[in-house]
A and B are shown apart, each in its own frame.
Chain A
């Protein structure tokens, strides 16, 4: 069997398992999990908001590691560097998707729970900064025509990743409106054990979806690179053929 067919089969099975996990997790979140005593049903946003937030702090590290590999390989092994660059752009896009949803679901929850859409506290502001950094990364890649775009983007990725621990620690470093992290957040953190299955399944489902998006976007970028290489080869060969 050809390798592309094996990849495609694995992708289809992975997608089916992911969609099943998300459907089950959503049912647990909306139907099975108990209603929270203080906030009522709107607290169920938590089951989508927290997993997307956690994953929006994870994918920047995939982008960082891939960017570091790109910087290491760009002169030593250009073909490997191209693969690392494809992983980096895929991870940056997935980061923007997850951090956008983190901000959006957070604002919807905040309006209902706090009475405000937004406040400039350290957690929300550092998260917005993270989103802006990765949007800038993607705009740099889209708009720059210097010939050094991939290298510039890889360097930007190193700086952008510095914001991730700041986002995570912001709740402990500064007084914020945002509550403590669910895990490792000190004595006031944690959730009721009856909420754990819904939370755990949503983390699993959205993590599997994130991996699916990452691999699918990586495959697309590799296909684009192949297309660009083929177009460049044709551009070189065309004048030679005309001369013959």
Chain B
């Protein structure tokens, strides 16, 4: 089965595409926000490692 119908002009195609894209965007956006905070808090916690991507923080 081809997927071209999903990009069609009918309401059902629009809504199906919107639902799938919304799920990917919200889930991906939330994961990206956690990753960004992870890096930001890591720099606050260990500023000496901010230039070092290896980040061996545990002793």
Closest B residue to A94 by beta carbon equals B30
The answer to whether B23 touches A224 (Cβ under 8 A) is no
Residues of B within 8 A of A100 (CB): 26
A220 within 8 A of B: yes
Interface residues of B in 9-43 (CB under 8 A from A): 11-13, 15-16, 18-20, 22-23, 26-27, 30-31, 34-35, 37-38, 41-42
B56 at interface, CB cutoff 8 A: yes
Q: Which residue of A lies closest to B22 (CB)?
A: A104
Total chain B interface residues with beta-carbon distance under 8 A: 29
Counted as pairs of residues, one from A and one from B, with CB atoms less than 8 Å apart, the total is: 87
Are the C-beta atoms of B57 and A112 separated by less than 8 Å?
A: no
Q: In the complex, which residues of chain B have a beta carbon less than 8 angstroms from the beta carbon of A121? A: none
The chain A residue with its CB closest to the CB of B56 is A2
A97 to B27, CA, bound (A): 7
Chain B neighbourhood of A56, CB < 8 A = none
With A41-B13, A220-B34 as given contacts, are A101 and B58 in contact (CB-CB < 8 Å)? no
Cβ-defined contact, B45 with A112, below 8 A:
no
Interface size on A, residues (CB 8 A): 38
CB–CB B16/A42 < 8 A: yes
Interface, chain A (partner B; CB < 8 A): 2-4, 26, 30-32, 39-42, 44-45, 48-49, 52, 93, 97, 100-101, 104-105, 108-109, 111-112, 209, 212-213, 216-217, 219-220, 223-224, 226-227, 230
Instruction: Give B residues with C-beta under 8 Å from A.
Output: 1, 3, 5-6, 11-13, 15-16, 18-20, 22-23, 26-27, 30-31, 34-35, 37-38, 41-42, 44-45, 56-58
